[in-house]
Amino acid sequence: MIRKQTLTKPEEIKQVIPLAAGRQLELSRPLVMGILNVTPDSFSDGGRYTGVEQAVNRALQMAEEGADIIDIGGESSRPGAEPVDAEVEMHRVVPVIEALRWKSDVCVSVDTYRAQTARAAIDAGADIVNDISALRLDTAMVELVAERKVPVVLMHMQGTPRNMQIDPVYEDCVREVGDFFVNRLEFCKRHGVDKTKVVLDPGIGFGKNLSHNLELLGHLDEFTQYGCPILVGASRKSFIGMLNPAGGSADQRLGGSLAAAVLAVLAGAGIVRVHDVAETVEALKVVQAMRK
């Protein structure tokens, strides 16, 4: 059983995200969300048992490396990605969450915009819903989140993963993302989702070109005014590759990803969503030491 040692003095606690059963995430230091993609291409073997076993092992490894949250997703939301069947998505993520729950009490988020998947994931032990559509794509999602009282990540996205990178246009990207957050927070309020359960995410790479992404990263502090923690996912995304065209494939963007995580935290992000947990934890320890 892996238990997180996060003994924070009460006076140091600035913000907490309440979870079920009296557990909570403390935002007294930047939190690291480790990415666990449970899509067929993300594991070498398509076999069902080994697929689940490999996914659980990867999750446990990330928890040992210092991940505070494991984000489990069964549908790719990369630019151009096609949606999968709800059933397919559910049968990818739920067995992994169930199996992980036997071995660890690490906080788990489920990366889905479908209420059916989110419900099954919560029943299997997921703590948080990470919805890239910010409760817009499935009308049942807001009711689920309100009823189960689970924290929810509301992410900004222009378009859908399939078409979002074709020609993203904003008059003022930072202002429009801010207006979107205000709109979604009002929607949450109307539907009985408490603000203390909301995390806001500007959606790096989701209907944004290079300058939009850089503008958002540079103005994250403007999103803290809504009183919710900010989550940023920049890890290995294509904008990092654009800044270093000689750099090669997505798994060769560690340096840029670490820079983005550090910048995001300095600009006010409370949570960073990353592939390279150990390296990010190390980088953020330096940031945290400087800030104290």
Contact residues: ligand PT1, CB under 6 A: 77-79, 111, 130, 132, 153, 155, 201, 203-206, 231, 233, 237-238, 273
CB 283 to ligand PT1: min, Å: 18
Task: Give the type of residue at 54.
Answer: Q
Contact 37, 71 (CB under 8 A): no
Q: Which of 29, 273, 291, 292 is catalytic?
A: 273
CA distance 209 to 38: 27
Query: Between 103 and 263, whose beta carbon lies closer to ligand PT1?
Result: 263
R_g over Cα of the chain:
18
In the complex, the smallest distance separating the C-beta of residue 244 from ligand PT1, rounded to whole angstroms, is 13
Could you give the C-alpha distances from 111 to 12, 27, 256, 281, in angstroms and in order? Answer: 30, 21, 24, 21
Name the active-site residue from 92, 114, 119, 237: 237
Closest CB to ligand PT1 among residues 32, 50: 32
Is residue 237 part of the annotated active site? The answer reads: yes
We find the least distance from the C-beta atom of residue 138 to ligand PT1, in angstroms, to be 16
Q: What is the closest distance, in whole angstroms, from the C-beta atom of residue 70 to ligand PT1 in the complex? A: 13
Shorter beta-carbon distance to ligand PT1: residue 2 or 242: 242
Nearer to ligand PT1 by C-beta: 155 or 258?
A: 155
- Residue 189: active-site member: no
Report the catalytic residues. 237, 273
